[in-house]
Amino acid sequence: MPQIDIYTRQFCGYSTRAVRLLKSKGVAFTEIDITEEPHRRKEMIQRANGASTYPQIFAGEKHLGGSDDIHALDRQGKLDALLKDG
């Protein structure tokens, strides 16, 4: 199972929705709150190939996108496999 990372920001509804979806999937993930660790924003943007909105979600080295992206993957039935296999 790949390491799941999610970069979030406080008071961001999209971040809250994405975290809620990951929790509902029962997967372990690391939440990186940029509000508390602003020095990690550059890391997030680099990993996300320039994407700078919140949240940004990764399964291992694979960039899954933001909240809308993982919700779309879930509706398509593709998210579970990505969370397990990266």
Domain count, the chain: 1
Q: What is the pTM of this model?
A: 0.95
Structural domain of 59: 4-84
Residue 86 has pLDDT above 90, yes or no: no
Q: CB pairs under 8 A, 24+ apart, for 40-48?
A: 40/7, 41/7, 44/7
Give the integer Cα–Cα distance in Å for 79 and 75: 8
> How much of the chain, in percent, has pLDDT values that exceed 70?
99
CATH of the domain at 16: 3.40.30.10
Residues 72-78 have a mean pLDDT of 98
Residue 25 has pLDDT above 80, yes or no: yes
Q: How many CB atoms lie within 10 A of CB 79?
A: 22
What confidence score (pLDDT) does residue 55 get?
98
